[in-house]
Structure formats: C-alpha cells, structure tokens
Amino acid sequence: MDTQIVRLNAAQAEQRLPELGALLQDAVNGGAAVGFLPPLSLAEAEAYWREVVGAVSGAGRILLVAIQAGALVGTVQLDPAARPNGRHRAEVTKVLVHSDHRRQGVGRALMLAVEDEAARAGRTTLVLDTRLDDAGQALYTSLGYQRAGIIPNYARSADGTLHATLVMYKLL
C-alpha cells in the first residue's frame, strides 16, 4: 500500500488528535516501551499528544506522520537540541507504527523522512533509544545507527520487569 509521509504543524496535529491517541494506545497496549504502561486510556494518550502539539508550535519539534488511504498509521518525532553547543544534533523519538501496518516499510519510510528533515535543519548527529532487543533495534541498525551503549534497568514493563535500553546514534 502507498505510504505518504507528512509533516504536521500544530493545528494539523490538533485535528488528528483522536488518531494520534489511538496510535499511541495501540502501541502501548501492544507492549511497546515508549514511556507509558498498559492499559493506556485514550484520554491519557491524547493528553500526551497535546503536549507534543505545544512542542511543535513552540519548541521546534518536528512531527511526521505516515498516511495510508487517508488513515494515520505511524508517526515519528524529531526533537532538536536547543542549547548552542548542540544545534547540530537532535533526538528521534516515538517511532510508532500501528500494529496492523507493521512489517510493511512504514517505520523505514518514517525514519528516512525524519533523517531528511534533520539534514534540512542542519542536524548532523541523531540519537535515539530503544528497548534492548526490540524489533526497532533491527530497523535502526539496518539504517546505519550505531550502538552507543546500554543502560540496564531503564524501563519498567507492565509486569514490573525492568528492561535495558540501547542508546544509538547516526551521523548524517
């Protein structure tokens, strides 16, 4: 299926709040380690996205979404460092693909698009973190991201288990 990657401004993101909330809910309730624990309510998910809308409108955050047949099926954010000594770098966050659309190239398309956005913004060092041995790790490695290190006991799962996170980077 044809995937279109679109950069949303704050007003556009606000309009798509229900879809963004449902996407985050799908990811978290499916076990993704993205800062929340299941069960994630739609209200809590939408509250998170309202924070993102604020960051997109004011702090320079870039929000990209993947659209298939008019439906929002994935998202990624680029959070540029604001301090003078870090204006060459940015953090890639919340790479989410709806469970019905995984393994179809959506995540890869989002990552390539976010790298293009970073390059246009003069950001040459990208960093991200992912739960160690999660599916995302293989994607990031295939795109040239390098291991910077592992932090043990970084994130808690719903069952209380603590998991390590892998910090990765890519120089554009």
| pLDDT at 1 (0 to 100) | 76
pLDDT digits (tens, 9 = 90+) for 73-84: 999 999 999 999
Are the C-beta atoms of 81 and 89 separated by less than 8 Å?
Answer: yes
**Rounded mean pLDDT, 99-105:** 96
| pLDDT at 168 (0 to 100) | 98
User: What total of structural domains would you count in the chain?
Assistant: 1
The CATH number of the domain holding residue 107 is: 3.40.630.30
> Is 160 inside a domain boundary?
no
**Distance set, CA 63 to CA 56, 93, 138 (Å):** 7, 10, 23
> Is 37 inside a domain boundary?
yes
Q: Which domain holds residue 14?
A: 4-123
> Is 128 inside a domain boundary?
no
> Is 81 inside a domain boundary?
yes
Rg (CA), the chain: 15
**Rounded mean pLDDT, 116-139:** 96
> Is 130 inside a domain boundary?
no
pLDDT digits (tens, 9 = 90+) for 8-52: 999 999 999 999 999 999 999 999 999 999 999 999 999 999 999
Give the number of residues written for the chain: 172
| pLDDT at 58 (0 to 100) | 85
> Is 29 inside a domain boundary?
yes
> Is 150 inside a domain boundary?
no
> Is 80 inside a domain boundary?
yes
| Residue 59 clears pLDDT 80, i.e. is over it | no
| Percent of the chain whose pLDDT exceeds 70 | 99
